[in-house]
């Protein structure tokens, strides 16, 4: 957007006229990280304008505006007009805040990552109508809104024309795709409709579904992925806890039985599929027994790797009222145990596929003379760099 307004993109390490820091509220110390980055910018380019956007800017605009060196704080809707807001600024003036109540944020702005020509993250959905008790994302991103299928297809075709081979579909609550730009049901299109139509776009060889709530990952979608040549046998499904009691306290919309059923459906149709799991440890009320339930449950599931998060308190969330609070050292100990389990799962998954030939899409990035790529089922491989393999799908013996 800013390039269209005459700006030129620079690396963060270079001196620039404007720096935009896009903050994240999932990160525990967004505030600290933001301060450090602003300080670095001030040292490097004291005359530059510093703009802060992102979830943290929406949640705590005043706090951010008080950081010395910050010139502009833009909320969830206003960030799409950066150039316009910048034009009205003078360096040295007190920081300006432009943000509105998150409930009023409407509209959908499609976007995709441009760092890598091989693989692109394409945003098709934003916001979330769920109310998980630990989560601030709905407060930072607003109600569930989506792109139209027509627009997503147009973007996919454009990316294909630019040489992109793999698209990762992203959204805050991806499986809830279909609500119109005002959060209504106007589009009347489901995530299933989207994947079916994307599958027909010529030029894109691979799609991945970034992360999808288990209750929204229908058997219809699973069956479709199993029969598709373009959607990869790779799922990332948040579990968060393997205890029904804790799931209820978290206000998640499923029980562990449903999760196990989804994993079973995937594996029965695609035994080679990779399944990643998000899990939170140390949620308030999580006793040793609850944690053991989670550990044993995940141990019993045919999944490939875990992303383990240590619960941390967030302002204005319902979870703050739940007791007893789990001591920090226990949270860390539980995190360690699950990371060990993840390591074992990952090793086992790789062992299972040893000797098989699978298709790898190699990426363009060269590091220490090596290049990397992923198999269809998300096993990472690396090999000495070969120019002719960049952005190519190669048969690879694991």
**Footprint on this chain of ligand SF4 (rule: CB under 6 A):** 128, 130-132, 135, 137-138, 172-173, 213
- Of 168 and 371, nearer to ligand SF4 (C-beta) is 168
Give the shortest CB-15-to-ligand SF4 separation in angstroms. Answer: 37
Torsion angle, alpha carbons of 279, 282, 283, 287, to 10: 110
Check: CB of residue 207 under 8 Å from CB of residue 232: yes
Give the shortest CB-311-to-ligand SF4 separation in angstroms. Answer: 12
Among 140, 138, 134, 143, smallest CA distance to 318 is for: 134
Q: 362 pairs with which residues across the strands?
A: 373
- Of 135 and 273, nearer to ligand SF4 (C-beta) is 135
- Of 51 and 132, nearer to ligand SF4 (C-beta) is 132
- Of 132 and 156, nearer to ligand SF4 (C-beta) is 132
Taking the C-alpha atoms of residue 201 and residue 265, their distance in angstroms, rounded to an integer, is 27
127: left (phi > 0), else alpha (psi -120 to 50), else beta?
left
- Of 168 and 319, nearer to ligand SF4 (C-beta) is 319
336: which 2 tokens? Answer: 């360690």
DSSP track, 323-386: SSPPPHHHHHHHHHHHHHHHHHHHHHHHHHTTT-EEEEEE-S--BTTEEEEEETT--EEEEE--
Check: CB of residue 2 under 8 Å from CB of residue 117: no
359: which 2 tokens? Answer: 């298709």
Radius of gyration of the CA atoms of the chain, in A:
22
Among 140, 67, 148, 144, smallest CA distance to 110 is for: 148
- Of 64 and 137, nearer to ligand SF4 (C-beta) is 137
- Of 34 and 128, nearer to ligand SF4 (C-beta) is 128
Give the shortest CB-354-to-ligand SF4 separation in angstroms. Answer: 35
Give the shortest CB-366-to-ligand SF4 separation in angstroms. Answer: 36
- Of 144 and 377, nearer to ligand SF4 (C-beta) is 144
Check: CB of residue 177 under 8 Å from CB of residue 195: no
Burial class (CB in 10 A: 0-12, 13-18, 19+), 279: buried
């Amino acid at each position: 957007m800013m390039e269209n307004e005459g700006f030129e993109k620079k690396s963060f390490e270079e001196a620039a006229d404007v720096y935009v820091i896009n903050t994240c509220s999932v990160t525990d110390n967004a505030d600290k990280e933001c301060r450090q980055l602003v300080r670095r910018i001030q040292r490097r380019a004291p005359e530059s304008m510093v703009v802060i956007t992102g979830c943290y800017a929406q949640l705590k605009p005043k706090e951010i505006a008080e950081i010395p060196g910050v010139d502009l704080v833009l909320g969830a809707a206003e960030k799409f007009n950066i150039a316009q807001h910048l034009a009205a600024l003078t360096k040295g003036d007190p920081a300006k805040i432009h943000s509105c109540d998150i409930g009023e944020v409407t509209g959908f702005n499609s976007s995709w990552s441009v760092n890598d020509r091989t693989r692109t993250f394409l945003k098709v959905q934003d916001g979330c109508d769920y109310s998980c008790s630990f989560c601030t994302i709905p407060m930072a991103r607003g109600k569930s809104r989506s792109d139209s299928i027509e627009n997503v297809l147009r973007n996919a075709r454009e990316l294909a024309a630019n040489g992109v081979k793999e698209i990762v579909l992203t959204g805050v609550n991806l499986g809830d795709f279909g609500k119109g730009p005002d959060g209504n049901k106007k589009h009347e299109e489901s995530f299933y409709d989207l994947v079916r139509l994307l599958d027909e776009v010529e030029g894109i060889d691979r799609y991945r579904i970034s992360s999808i709530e288990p209750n929204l990952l229908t058997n219809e979608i699973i069956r479709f992925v199993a029969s598709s040549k373009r959607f990869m046998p790779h799922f990332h499904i948040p579990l968060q806890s393997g205890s029904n009691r804790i799931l209820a306290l978290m206000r998640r919309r499923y029980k562990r039985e449903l999760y196990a059923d989804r994993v079973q459906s995937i594996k029965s149709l695609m035994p080679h599929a990779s399944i990643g799991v998000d899990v939170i440890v140390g949620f308030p009320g999580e006793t040793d027994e609850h944690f053991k339930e989670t550990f044993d449950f995940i141990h019993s599931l045919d999944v490939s790797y875990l992303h383990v998060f240590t619960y941390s308190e967030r302002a204005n969330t319902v979870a703050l009222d739940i007791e007893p609070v789990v001591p920090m050292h226990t949270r860390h100990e539980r995190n360690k145990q699950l990371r060990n389990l993840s390591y074992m799962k990952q090793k086992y998954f790789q062992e299972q596929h040893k000797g098989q030939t699978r298709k790898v899409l190699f990426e363009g990035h060269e590091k220490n003379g090596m290049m990397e790529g992923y198999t269809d089922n998300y096993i990472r491989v690396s090999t000495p760099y070969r120019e002719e393999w960049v952005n190519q799908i190669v048969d690879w013996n694991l």
